[in-house]
Amino acid sequence: MTDLLPLIVAKYNYWLYVILMMIGLYAMIAKNNLIKKLVGMNIFQTAIILFYVSIGYKKDATIPIIQSAHGGGHGAHEAAIHAADYINPLPHVLMLTAIVVSVATFGVAMALAVRVYQRYQTLEEDELRMRLSEK
């Protein structure tokens, strides 16, 4: 499927996901605030979702709903179906699952952040570290 895409386009979408991923990773490593880290995590996951979505895409293709099949019953399959006319639905379906996973992770992480805040009254990592070493 990729050989159908012009080289420049391929580079464009892959570069985008790599950049997004690095932004996310940077936030997760370098930021001091736990919420910022969470945001970074989310960007990181979204980058991968974008990557998957983009690999399913084909130029000049449409959504994979076979129009001629409508109402025609079995007889309507006569018209040949070219796979190249439809974008690949599988990566998109997979990403539905991945989005669910990432939302769930994000939810759990938020809940944990709330718990941390309730316990220590702060979300700054350096302050947390100080609190922990005090004890």
Half-sphere exposure of residue 1: CA atoms within 13 angstroms, side-chain side: 17
Contact between 20 and another protein (CB under 8 A)? no
Cα–Cα dist 107/115, whole Å:
12
Contact between 48 and another protein (CB under 8 A)? yes
Would you say 69 or 93 has its CB closer to another protein?
93
Q: Which of 70, 74, 82, 135 binds another protein (CB under 8 A)?
A: 135
Cα–Cα dist 42/33, whole Å:
14
Contact between 119 and another protein (CB under 8 A)? yes
Q: Which of 22, 88, 28, 33 is nearest to 56 (CA)?
A: 88
Contact between 44 and another protein (CB under 8 A)? yes
105: Cβ contacts below 8 Å, ≥ 6 apart: 41, 45
Contact between 11 and another protein (CB under 8 A)? no
Contacts (CB under 8 A) with another protein, residues 79-98: 91, 94, 97-98
CB of 71 to another protein, least distance (A): 26
Contact between 16 and another protein (CB under 8 A)? no
